[in-house]
Amino acid sequence: MLEAAGWRTRAIDLPSAGGRAGMPDDAHAVLEELKLIDGSVVVVAHSYGGVPVSQAAAEAGNVSRIVYLAALQLDVGESLFGFAGTPLPPEPRSFEPVPNDPITMFYGGVPRSEAEEAAKRLVPQSTKSFWDVLTQAAWHTVPSTYIVCEDDQALPAQAQQVLAERSNEVRRIAGDHSPFLSKPVELAALLSKIALESDG
Protein backbone atom coordinates (compact mmCIF):
# COMPACT_ATOMS: atom_id res chain seq x y z
CA MET A 1 0.00 0.00 0.00
CA LEU A 2 2.76 2.46 0.90
CA GLU A 3 4.72 1.67 -2.25
CA ALA A 4 1.58 2.20 -4.32
CA ALA A 5 1.37 5.66 -2.75
CA GLY A 6 4.90 6.44 -3.89
CA TRP A 7 6.88 5.65 -0.75
CA ARG A 8 10.08 3.62 -0.79
CA THR A 9 9.95 0.99 1.93
CA ARG A 10 12.23 -1.63 3.44
CA ALA A 11 11.55 -4.39 5.94
CA ILE A 12 14.11 -6.53 7.70
CA ASP A 13 14.10 -9.85 9.52
CA LEU A 14 15.41 -9.68 13.08
CA PRO A 15 17.95 -12.37 14.02
CA SER A 16 16.16 -13.10 17.32
CA ALA A 17 13.16 -14.44 15.37
CA GLY A 18 13.83 -18.14 15.15
CA GLY A 19 17.42 -17.73 16.39
CA ARG A 20 19.25 -17.32 19.69
CA ALA A 21 20.26 -13.70 19.11
CA GLY A 22 19.58 -11.02 21.70
CA MET A 23 18.12 -7.54 21.42
CA PRO A 24 21.54 -5.90 20.76
CA ASP A 25 21.91 -8.17 17.72
CA ASP A 26 18.50 -7.04 16.48
CA ALA A 27 19.46 -3.41 17.06
CA HIS A 28 22.67 -3.94 15.11
CA ALA A 29 20.69 -5.38 12.18
CA VAL A 30 18.39 -2.33 12.20
CA LEU A 31 21.32 0.08 12.42
CA GLU A 32 23.16 -1.58 9.54
CA GLU A 33 20.04 -1.30 7.38
CA LEU A 34 19.61 2.37 8.27
CA LYS A 35 23.21 3.05 7.26
CA LEU A 36 22.38 1.87 3.73
CA ILE A 37 19.71 4.54 3.29
CA ASP A 38 20.54 8.02 2.03
CA GLY A 39 18.49 10.87 3.43
CA SER A 40 16.04 11.01 6.29
CA VAL A 41 14.02 7.96 7.30
CA VAL A 42 10.75 7.41 9.11
CA VAL A 43 11.07 4.08 10.94
CA VAL A 44 7.92 2.11 11.75
CA ALA A 45 8.48 -0.26 14.69
CA HIS A 46 5.88 -2.92 15.41
CA SER A 47 5.41 -4.89 18.65
CA TYR A 48 8.76 -6.12 20.07
CA GLY A 49 10.44 -4.29 17.18
CA GLY A 50 10.07 -1.08 19.15
CA VAL A 51 12.82 -2.23 21.50
CA PRO A 52 15.70 -2.69 19.02
CA VAL A 53 14.54 0.29 16.96
CA SER A 54 14.76 2.55 20.03
CA GLN A 55 18.28 1.25 20.61
CA ALA A 56 19.44 1.50 16.98
CA ALA A 57 17.90 4.86 16.05
CA ALA A 58 19.89 6.54 18.82
CA GLU A 59 23.02 5.96 16.73
CA ALA A 60 21.65 6.19 13.20
CA GLY A 61 21.69 9.94 12.62
CA ASN A 62 19.22 9.83 9.69
CA VAL A 63 15.97 8.96 11.48
CA SER A 64 13.53 11.87 11.31
CA ARG A 65 10.74 10.11 13.22
CA ILE A 66 9.98 6.79 14.88
CA VAL A 67 6.45 5.45 14.60
CA TYR A 68 5.61 2.92 17.31
CA LEU A 69 2.81 0.71 16.00
CA ALA A 70 1.37 -1.20 18.97
CA ALA A 71 5.02 -1.39 19.96
CA LEU A 72 7.18 -1.50 23.07
CA GLN A 73 8.43 2.07 23.48
CA LEU A 74 10.75 1.26 26.36
CA ASP A 75 13.22 3.42 28.24
CA VAL A 76 16.86 2.85 29.19
CA GLY A 77 17.13 -0.03 31.68
CA GLU A 78 13.81 -1.59 30.64
CA SER A 79 13.17 -4.88 28.86
CA LEU A 80 10.07 -6.44 27.34
CA PHE A 81 9.69 -8.96 30.17
CA GLY A 82 10.51 -6.32 32.77
CA PHE A 83 7.83 -3.99 31.45
CA ALA A 84 5.31 -6.85 31.36
CA GLY A 85 6.21 -7.96 34.89
CA THR A 86 7.08 -11.43 33.63
CA PRO A 87 9.01 -13.42 36.28
CA LEU A 88 12.14 -15.39 35.54
CA PRO A 89 11.25 -18.87 34.28
CA PRO A 90 11.96 -21.67 36.80
CA GLU A 91 14.30 -23.24 34.24
CA PRO A 92 16.30 -21.24 31.68
CA ARG A 93 14.99 -21.63 28.17
CA SER A 94 16.24 -20.56 24.78
CA PHE A 95 12.98 -19.70 23.04
CA GLU A 96 9.54 -18.30 23.68
CA PRO A 97 7.06 -20.44 21.75
CA VAL A 98 4.45 -19.20 19.31
CA PRO A 99 1.20 -18.58 21.27
CA ASN A 100 -1.36 -21.39 21.28
CA ASP A 101 -3.96 -19.24 19.51
CA PRO A 102 -2.00 -16.74 17.43
CA ILE A 103 -4.94 -15.88 15.20
CA THR A 104 -7.01 -14.53 18.08
CA MET A 105 -4.01 -12.79 19.62
CA PHE A 106 -2.50 -11.20 16.53
CA TYR A 107 -4.96 -11.36 13.63
CA GLY A 108 -8.48 -11.00 15.01
CA GLY A 109 -9.61 -8.65 12.26
CA VAL A 110 -7.92 -10.46 9.38
CA PRO A 111 -9.88 -12.74 7.00
CA ARG A 112 -9.51 -16.30 8.25
CA SER A 113 -7.55 -17.71 5.32
CA GLU A 114 -5.10 -14.80 5.36
CA ALA A 115 -4.75 -15.03 9.15
CA GLU A 116 -3.95 -18.74 8.89
CA GLU A 117 -1.24 -18.03 6.33
CA ALA A 118 0.24 -15.30 8.52
CA ALA A 119 0.22 -17.60 11.56
CA LYS A 120 2.17 -20.24 9.61
CA ARG A 121 5.03 -17.76 9.21
CA LEU A 122 5.42 -17.20 12.96
CA VAL A 123 8.53 -18.65 14.62
CA PRO A 124 9.69 -18.96 18.24
CA GLN A 125 11.43 -15.88 19.61
CA SER A 126 14.75 -15.80 21.45
CA THR A 127 14.06 -15.53 25.19
CA LYS A 128 17.25 -13.51 25.60
CA SER A 129 15.84 -10.75 23.37
CA PHE A 130 12.91 -10.32 25.76
CA TRP A 131 15.20 -9.98 28.80
CA ASP A 132 17.85 -7.70 27.26
CA VAL A 133 17.56 -4.11 28.50
CA LEU A 134 17.90 -0.91 26.53
CA THR A 135 21.09 1.09 26.97
CA GLN A 136 19.84 3.91 24.70
CA ALA A 137 16.35 5.16 23.91
CA ALA A 138 16.21 7.23 20.73
CA TRP A 139 12.78 8.69 21.42
CA HIS A 140 14.38 11.05 23.94
CA THR A 141 16.02 12.90 21.04
CA VAL A 142 14.17 11.70 17.91
CA PRO A 143 10.52 12.78 17.40
CA SER A 144 8.10 9.89 17.84
CA THR A 145 4.48 9.01 17.15
CA TYR A 146 2.61 6.18 18.84
CA ILE A 147 -0.25 4.45 17.02
CA VAL A 148 -2.57 2.78 19.51
CA CYS A 149 -4.34 -0.26 18.04
CA GLU A 150 -7.61 -0.17 19.92
CA ASP A 151 -8.65 -3.81 19.40
CA ASP A 152 -5.24 -5.37 20.13
CA GLN A 153 -5.37 -8.67 22.04
CA ALA A 154 -1.58 -9.07 22.30
CA LEU A 155 -0.68 -5.67 23.76
CA PRO A 156 -3.90 -4.25 25.21
CA ALA A 157 -4.78 -0.66 24.39
CA GLN A 158 -4.44 0.31 28.08
CA ALA A 159 -0.80 -0.81 28.10
CA GLN A 160 -0.21 0.91 24.78
CA GLN A 161 -1.59 4.13 26.22
CA VAL A 162 0.95 4.01 29.05
CA LEU A 163 3.75 3.60 26.51
CA ALA A 164 2.26 6.23 24.21
CA GLU A 165 2.68 8.89 26.88
CA ARG A 166 6.39 8.78 26.00
CA SER A 167 5.74 9.86 22.40
CA ASN A 168 5.43 13.37 21.04
CA GLU A 169 2.02 12.55 19.56
CA VAL A 170 -0.51 9.75 19.70
CA ARG A 171 -2.73 8.46 16.90
CA ARG A 172 -5.28 5.67 17.07
CA ILE A 173 -6.58 3.04 14.70
CA ALA A 174 -9.53 0.69 15.23
CA GLY A 175 -7.54 -2.42 14.52
CA ASP A 176 -5.98 -5.54 15.99
CA HIS A 177 -2.28 -6.17 16.64
CA SER A 178 -1.59 -6.45 12.90
CA PRO A 179 -3.37 -3.53 11.18
CA PHE A 180 -1.03 -3.89 8.18
CA LEU A 181 -3.13 -6.99 7.43
CA SER A 182 -6.51 -6.10 8.94
CA LYS A 183 -6.62 -2.38 8.05
CA PRO A 184 -4.02 -1.95 5.29
CA VAL A 185 -5.64 1.01 3.54
CA GLU A 186 -6.32 2.94 6.75
CA LEU A 187 -2.85 2.23 8.15
CA ALA A 188 -1.09 3.23 4.92
CA ALA A 189 -3.01 6.50 4.84
CA LEU A 190 -2.13 7.23 8.46
CA LEU A 191 1.56 6.41 7.97
CA SER A 192 1.67 8.58 4.86
CA LYS A 193 0.16 11.47 6.78
CA ILE A 194 2.68 11.07 9.61
CA ALA A 195 5.60 10.87 7.18
CA LEU A 196 4.50 13.95 5.25
CA GLU A 197 4.12 15.93 8.46
CA SER A 198 7.59 14.76 9.53
CA ASP A 199 9.04 16.12 6.27
CA GLY A 200 7.21 19.39 6.66
Q: Domain for residue 10, yes or no?
A: no
Position 199 scores a pLDDT of 67
Is residue 126 within 8 Å of 118, Cβ to Cβ? no
The range of the structural domain enclosing residue 131 comes to 23-199
Position 92 scores a pLDDT of 67
Q: Domain for residue 109, yes or no?
A: yes
Q: How many domains does the chain have?
A: 1
Is residue 146 within 8 Å of 68, Cβ to Cβ? yes
Position 7 scores a pLDDT of 82
Position 184 scores a pLDDT of 94
Q: Domain for residue 80, yes or no?
A: yes
The Cβ of residue 51 has, within 10 Å, a number of other Cβ atoms equal to: 29
Q: What CATH number does residue 50 fall under?
A: 3.40.50.1820
Position 143 scores a pLDDT of 97
Position 4 scores a pLDDT of 72
Nearest CA to 50 out of 169, 139, 178 is that of 139
Q: Domain for residue 11, yes or no?
A: no
Residues 97-124 as b or e (16 or more Cβ within 10 Å = b)? eeeeebbebbbbbbeeeebeebbeeeee
Per-residue pLDDT of 17-44, as tens digits, reads 999 999 999 999 999 999 999 999 999 9
Q: Domain for residue 88, yes or no?
A: yes
Which regions of the chain are under pLDDT 70?
Answer: 1, 5, 92, 199-200
Q: CB-based contacts of 171: which residues, under 8 Å, 6+ apart?
A: 145, 146, 147, 148, 190, 194
Which residues does residue 68 pair with via DSSP β-bridges, in sequence order?
45, 146
Q: Domain for residue 6, yes or no?
A: no
